[in-house]
Structure 1
Amino acid sequence: MPAAYSYDLRKKVMEALDEGESGETVAKRFKIGKTTLYEWKKRREKTGDFQSKKPGSVGYNHKITDWNAFTEFANEQGGKTQSEMAKLCGNISRQTIHRALKNIGFT
């Protein structure tokens, strides 16, 4: 993935747009893609700034956060299948139960 454009460049580009220069002309002058330019405009309209997004993935929302309680649950329900344990936990998939059991070393 290429590096993000500098904030200084973004600022100059947005100032040129604010002064009335067309998007196509600004994109050519600063050697950026028109799509990039319009993404910055949209981000500024939405958030009030055109700062780059933070790199990397945001991950996923972990369903199991209390590992002591889950370990106790696993010990109590150890004779059940992962699917049965997932149903007992509520809104958790069998795969999540599998990863959690692996995480606590439950076999």
Structure 2
Amino acid sequence: MPKIYSVDLREKVMLFYKETHHKSKTCELFNIARTTLDDWILLEQKTGQLKQPKPRNAGRPSVIKDIQGFKKFVETTKFSQAKDLVPLFEKQFGYSVGYHVILKALHKLGWTHKKRVFSTDKPAK
């Protein structure tokens, strides 16, 4: 796991580097890796600041964007299990979500887990 450095330390390192123009002395003095200093130099050249940009979220969305549309979708679609809704949801709304997102949204709408009632052929005593 990479070490996270504060913006204050980054600014001190860059100030020292700009004064000396010597990367190895700067890295030795502040006890950082040479590649880290190179990354900070590139970051400052590209963005003009040393604050690390936030990464974009990748993958599927963690929530359903239109909860009212989802409610209508669930009421009009026939399904026996929540996992049946995942491919149908993708067709209807144009983006895919995980099974756990469907379950969370159903719970939010007040749908509960139903227990199956098994019929028996034996008469009751």
- TM-score, normalising length: structure 1: 0.70
Unaligned runs of 5+ in 1: none
Is 72-81 or 10-19 further displaced after alignment? Answer: 72-81
* TM-superposed deviation, 1:87: 1.6
Among candidates 95, 99, 103, match of residue 91 of structure 1? 95
Q: Deviations over 1:42-70 (max 9, x none)?
A: 1111111112456xx76554462121221
In the aligned structure 2, how far is the partner of 1:35 from the partner of 1:68? 50
How many residues of Structure 1 are paired with residues of Structure 2 in the alignment? 102
Q: Is the 8 A contact 1:16 1:26 kept in 2?
A: yes
Map 1:1-107 → 2, pairs under 5 A = 4-52=4-52, 59=57, 61-62=61-62, 64-79=64-79, 81-82=84-85, 83-92=87-96, 96=97, 98-103=99-104, 104-105=106-107, 106=111
Q: Is the 8 A contact 1:7 1:51 kept in 2?
A: yes
Would the alpha carbon gap of residues 75 and 100 (structure 1) be closer, same or farther in structure 2, given more than 3 Å must change? farther
Percent identity between the two aligned chains:
26
| Aligned-CA RMSD value | 2.9
Is 2-11 or 41-50 further displaced after alignment? Answer: 2-11
One-letter amino acid matched to 1:84: L
In the aligned structure 2, how far is the partner of 1:9 from the partner of 1:66? 43
Unaligned runs of 5+ in 2: 114-125
In the aligned structure 2, how far is the partner of 1:91 from the partner of 1:4? 34
